[in-house]
């Protein structure tokens, strides 16, 4: 897929291998402290790229729920790159239409009802009629991945 779309892929990995991380922090760390887990395994590995980036592109859309209905297309941050949300004003139907018109394949997990995909311990399939993000941190009260919260929005 990377080659088909003409992308350059760089892989960021956590400092600590998964098994060692779980041994040191407990196999239930994802349920006990998902923010800590996310910080160590997603945010920290991206720091070298974030520190030199001018923009951070994300696929957040306003129609994905109340926690995202305020998403700006461009959002300056306090100490980092500008957040860019090019899909912010699109709906799920708009995205599906765009993908069809441009020959972009669906993620294979969508067919298995994973409608919002995050890391495997914190993501589950969504039942028919449920909100597309209901499979994220189900029953935990958490609504956003640390990737979307660690860069604080600059107040106007």
* Model pLDDT, residue 61: 95
Tell me the residue length of the chain.
156
Confidence of residue 119 (pLDDT cuts 50, 70, 90): confident
Q: Which residue has the higher pLDDT, 36 or 143?
A: 36
Delineate the domains of the chain, giving CATH numbers in brackets.
18-148 (3.40.50.620)
* pLDDT class of 110 with cuts at 50, 70, 90: very high
**pLDDT for residue 156 is more than 70:** no
pLDDT tens digits, one per residue of 53-64: 999 999 999 999
pLDDT at 82: 96
Q: What is the pLDDT of residue 65?
A: 86
CA of 94: how far to CAs of 84, 86, 98, 100, in Å? 18, 12, 6, 10
Is the pLDDT at 1 greater than 80? The verdict is: no
Nearest by Cα to 75 from 133, 149, 12: 149
Q: Measuring CA to CA, how many Å separate 155 from each of 18, 62, 66? A: 37, 19, 20
- Report the largest interatomic distance among the alpha carbons of the chain, rounded to a whole angstrom: 47
145 tagged catalytic: yes
- Indicate the DSSP class of residue 56: E
> What is the β-pairing status of strands 74-75 and 82-84?
antiparallel
Q: What's the confidence (pLDDT) of residue 150?
A: 86
Tell me what the pLDDT averaged over the chain comes to: 91
pTM of the full predicted structure?
A: 0.84
Lowest mean pLDDT among 43-52, 81-90, 123-132, 140-149: 140-149
Q: Pick the catalytic residue from 37, 38, 122, 145.
A: 145
Q: What percent of the chain has pLDDT over 90?
A: 62
């Amino acid at each position: 897929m990377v080659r088909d779309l003409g992308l350059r892929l760089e892989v960021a990995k956590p400092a600590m291998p998964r098994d060692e991380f779980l041994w040191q922090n407990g196999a239930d760390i994802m349920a006990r402290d998902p923010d800590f887990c996310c910080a160590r395994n997603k945010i920290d590995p991206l720091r070298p790229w974030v520190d030199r980036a001018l923009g951070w592109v994300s696929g957040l859309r306003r129609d994905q729920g109340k926690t995202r209905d305020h998403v700006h297309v461009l959002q300056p941050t306090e100490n980092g790159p500008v957040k860019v949300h090019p899909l912010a004003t699109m709906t799920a139907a708009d995205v599906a239409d765009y993908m069809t018109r441009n020959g972009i394949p669906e993620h294979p997990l969508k067919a298995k009802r994973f409608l919002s995909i995050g890391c495997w311990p914190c993501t589950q399939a969504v039942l028919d009629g449920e909100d597309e993000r209901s499979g994220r941190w189900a029953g935990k009260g958490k609504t956003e991945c640390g990737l979307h919260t660690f860069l604080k929005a600059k107040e106007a």
